Structure 1
Amino acid sequence: MPSTNPNSADSLISAAQALGNEHIRDQIVASIFRSSKEICDSAITYKNKERVKSEKLDRVLTSPIWGFPIMLAMLGVVFWLTIAGANVPSSMIAELFGTAESYLTFFFKAIHAPEWLHGILVLGFFRGTGWVVSVMLPPMAIFFPLFALLENYGYLPRVAFNMDRLFKKAGAHGKQSLTMAMGFGCNAAAIMSTRIIESPRERMLAILTNNFVPCNGRWPTLILLASLFMAAGYSGGIATLVTAATVMGMVLIGIIVTLTVSWGLSKTALKGVPTHYTLELPPYRRPKIINTVLRSSIDKSWSVLKRAIIVAAPASILTWVLANLYIGDTSILMYIVNFLDPFAHLLGLDGFILAAFIIGLPANEIVVPILLMGYLSTGSLTQIDDLDKLKTIFLDHGWTWLTALNMMLFSLLHFPCGTTLVNIYKETKSKKWTFLSFAIPTVIALVITFLVATVVRAFGLV
């Protein structure tokens, strides 16, 4: 029997441990791919040049150098087109609802309906629903088709390939990038899409962190404040570009927070080794505009819009009730605002803003209307079509660029909406994880806005 050198065996074991299981798996997969490619190249001749073009494109789109800049550029173009194209149809839909509201008001007066009934049904339910439709439908009608084009063409798997490296370093799964991308349309849908992740640990990571990318309900707030304050002093196409760049910056902050929180959770509450993720990139295809892009876009838009209306309508009624029920000379809404105001100022916000986010828990779309209702003391959801008048209202209530920035950050990072929380509970069957999915982003939003406000004030920038 041959003798074995113990020192030699120990050195081999140490070398294997130094390489690590993850590195060994990567080397095995890479070796299999190289061997397969060599066999195919020697035995197969491609008459169709599309495969060659696909490989050349992948060398650029999945390149460690060019992959991320191209990905960010494409995302920026999608945002710019969404912002530039949504303004006009949004105004038209708002005017349509405004006209319908005047006819409804005339009808309620004609039948001598009590004021409280008109307030709840028209000023609360109908006006709140109208705001949700007017601010959500145009961006979705633009964003979803553009996103579906990228998906249908075969680019989204390349995005997952690029992001896999970052998510793996954060202790998460590469497929989380796909669920995160779904969150740009709807965080509730993104929670359901985490089913594609096989590992329970990594799926929970995705569920707890998918909220940090802006959904359709947050786009209007981010776009509005970016255009009013960050793009102030610019006009025309430059203003749109600055607005898109600001929103793009918020998206990057959301991605950074997603990776950071994933890393933190993977080292603490959700410890574990990332699952190996081998992704076979599909070939590029010409998008099927009618059968795939338009149909899926309409289905997604209608599904999200219907869910938002169902959730937002009760919140609109609640808002009207809080603003119109008085204890003494003060409405319940103002009691809430006055209670929150001292704490909100520490965050660079005010009591009206925090109250709007709390009352707007069922749907992010109604946060700004609730805020305006409080500022104007109208007792009903308010819509201001003129952006100059809207900015004047904000400035009259002490707003600065810091207020706008921290409201954008809080909108980006704060607790999930009611629909998303319901989906989280359905997917996890756990009150603990549902609570953590609410608590983690809330604490992060409070800490970040507090730090930003403290630093800005310390340097005397406001």
Structure 2
Amino acid sequence: MGFGCNAAGIVGCRIIDSPRERLMAICTNNFVPCNGRFPTMIAIITMFFVGASLPFMQSMISTLLLMGVILLGVFTTFKVSSLLNKTILKGVPSTFILELPPYRKPQIVKTLVHSIFDRTLFVLGRAMAVAAPAGLLIWLMANITIGDATLLTHCAGLLDPFAKLCGLDGYILLAFILGFPANEIVIPILIMSYLASGSMVDYDNIMQLKTLLVDHGWTWITAICTLLFTLLHWPCATTLLTIKKETQSWRWTLIAFALPTLIGLGLCMLVNLAATLIF
């Protein structure tokens, strides 16, 4: 379920009987890329790793590269689960018994109503509660000027030294931070920052977007590190609120936030250092 929405995947963990294994599944759900991260990953792969190939090969190469990124997320899920199983979530693994439920006549209307009110509206309500104030914050940062630059530019400058260590830049890292309410707005925020416009915009032509990124210092190393950080970074606000609701614990919510963030930053640093030393 996490491939569609990580918040829905968290709610889906209710079917796991073992509290220990339920926590393990909740803490590692974010390593599976959701629909909000797929557009960013597909755009980066298309712009920087597929464009030079033959036209009839582009679709296959982009599919294989995207599959490789997804498999990296699944591999990370297994490794982090194993680490949790040996450390803070030690315990005896439970046996899995699949019991066939008794056959009943389907209650389609009741199922639809239950799904809409107990699942869909809950997730949408959480998203709106976070998205509205976040949108106001982004607009203020893009339009309030201090000296000769916007507040957005000043914040990006403060983040730039650390972001460079991770193979990114200050604007990329700030776009991920401001994209905390929803992963879909990371690229529009980044474009807005580079163009110094006062509102979020999007590009119809992906090659124009590539030109904009290259003009602002993007290399293939930047593309790889951004791709990795898109896969491995903190959960969105809706997912974190769902984790808090499901676990009733700020401790596990912070752990679920810290695990992908630290792994993502560490992996980007290693890739950037290795690429810089070799090439």
Structure-2-length-normalised TM-score: 0.89
The partner residue of 1:454 within 250, 258, 273 is 273
The question of whether the paired residues in 2 share the 8 Å contact of 1:319 and 1:359 is answered with yes
Quote how far apart the aligned CAs of 1:387 are. 1.1
| Counterpart contact for 1:213–1:251, Cα < 8 Å | yes
Q: Secondary structure at the match of 1:405?
A: helix
CA contact (8 A) 2:31 2:260 kept: yes
Q: Percent identity?
A: 51
Match of 2:214 among 385, 395, 415: 395
Is residue 429 of structure 1 aligned with residue 248 of structure 2?
Answer: yes
Superposition deviation, residue 324 in structure 1: 0.7
User: CA offsets per residue over residues 205-230 of structure 1, 9 Å max, x none?
Assistant: 00100000100110111111111111
- 1:220 aligned onto 2:39: yes
Change in CA separation of 1:434 and 1:302 when aligned onto 2, cut-off 3 Å: closer
Give the one of 17, 29, 44 matched to 1:210: 29
Distance 1:310 1:225, change over 3 A: farther
Query: Are the counterparts in 2 of residues 254 and 412 from structure 1 also a CA contact under 8 Å?
Result: yes
Structure with the greater alpha carbon radius of gyration: 1
Q: Whole-Å Cα distance in 1 between the matches of residues 162 and 202 of structure 2? A: 27
Cα RMSD, aligned residues only: 2.5
Q: Secondary structure at the match of 2:239?
A: helix
Which amino acid is 2:57 matched to?
Answer: I
Whether contact under 8 Å (1:227, 1:240) holds in the other structure is no
- Once residues 399 and 310 of structure 1 are traced to their aligned partners in structure 2, the CA distance between those partners, rounded to angstroms, is 34
Q: For 1:213 and 1:237, how far apart are their aligned partners in 2?
A: 29
Q: Residue 426 and residue 233 in structure 1: after superposition, are their counterparts in 2 closer, same or farther (change >3 A)?
A: same
Q: Which has the higher contact order (CA 8 A, sep 6+)?
A: 2
Report the residue type matching 2:195 in the other structure: L
Asked if residue 199 in structure 1 is aligned to residue 199 in structure 2, the reply is no
Q: Is the 8 A contact 1:316 1:381 kept in 2?
A: no
1:420 corresponds to which residue?
239
The answer to whether the Cα contact below 8 Å between 2:127 and 2:237 also exists between their aligned partners in 1 is: no
Select the structure that is richer in helix.
1
Q: Which residues in structure 2 correspond to 1:2-81 (within 5 Å)?
A: none
Post-superposition offset of 1:279: 3.8
Change (3 A) 1:363 1:270: same
Q: 1:235 to 1:306 in 2, by over 3 A?
A: farther
By how many angstroms is 1:328 displaced? 1.8
Cα deviation for residue 359 of structure 1 reads 0.7
Matches within 5 A, 1:259-278: 259-278=78-97
1:322 partnered with 2:170: no
2:37 is equivalent to residue 249 of structure 1: no
Partner of 1:444, secondary structure, is helix
- For 2:8 and 2:16, locate their aligned partners in 1 and report how far apart those are by CA, in whole Å: 14
Checking the alignment, whether the CA contact within 8 Å between 2:234 and 2:257 is kept in structure 1 is: yes
What SS does the corresponding residue of 1:183 show, helix, strand or coil? coil
**For residue 439 of structure 1, what is the aligned residue in structure 2?**
258
Answering whether residue 3 of structure 2 is matched by residue 184 of structure 1, we say yes
What number of residue pairs does the alignment pair up? 268
Change (3 A) 1:281 1:456: farther
* Corresponding residue of 2:155: 336
Question: Mind listing any 5+ residue stretches in structure 2 that lack a counterpart?
Answer: 102-107
Structure 2 counterpart SS, 1:277 = coil
Does the C-alpha gap of structure 1 residues 302 and 235 become closer, same or farther in structure 2, counting only changes over 3 Å? Answer: farther
Pairwise CA distance, 1:238: 2.2
**Cα distance in 2, alignment partners of residues 305 and 405 from structure 1:** 32
Cα offset for 1:309? Answer: 5.8
Query: How far apart, in 2, do the equivalents of 1:384 and 1:305 lie?
Result: 26
1:306 offset after TM fit, Å?
Answer: 7.5
DSSP 3-state at the match of 2:12: helix
The alignment partner of 2:93 has SS state of coil
Conservation of the 8 A alpha-carbon contact between 1:356 and 1:370:
yes
Shift of 1:313: 4.2
The residue number in structure 2 matching 1:351 is: 170
Report Cα offsets for 1:86-127 as digits up to 9, x if no partner. xxxxxxxxxxxxxxxxxxxxxxxxxxxxxxxxxxxxxxxxxx
Q: Distance in 1 between matches of 2:74 and 2:139?
A: 36
| C-alpha displacement of 1:441 | 0.9
Which 5+ residue runs of structure 1 have no aligned equivalent?
1-181, 283-290
Kept in 1: contact 2:32–2:70 (CA 8 A): yes
Q: Tell me the TM-score normalised to structure 1 length.
A: 0.55
Shift of 1:273: 1.6
